[in-house]
Amino acid sequence: MRLLGLDPGLRRTGWGVIDVAGSHLQHVANGTVRSESGLPIADRLAQLYDGLDRVIIEYGPDEAAVEETFVSRNASTTLKLGLARGVVLLAPARAGVPVCEYSANLVKKSIVGTGHADKKQIQMMVRTLLPNCEIAGPDAADALAVAICHAHHSATRRRWHAGRDLEESAP
Other Cβ atoms less than 10 A from the Cβ of 41: the count is 13
15 in Cβ contact with 33 (< 8 Å): yes
92-127: pLDDT as tens digits: 999 999 999 999 899 999 998 877 888 889 999 999
Q: Residues 50, 62, 134, 139: which is the catalytic one?
A: 139
- Which region holds residue 60: left if phi is over 0, alpha if psi is between -120 and 50, else beta? left
What pLDDT does residue 31 have?
98
CA 19 to chain centre: 13
Please say if 67 is a catalytic residue.
Answer: yes
Single pTM value for the model: 0.88
Please say if 118 is a catalytic residue.
Answer: no
Please say if 139 is a catalytic residue.
Answer: yes
Q: Residues 67, 68, 142, 167: which is the catalytic one?
A: 67
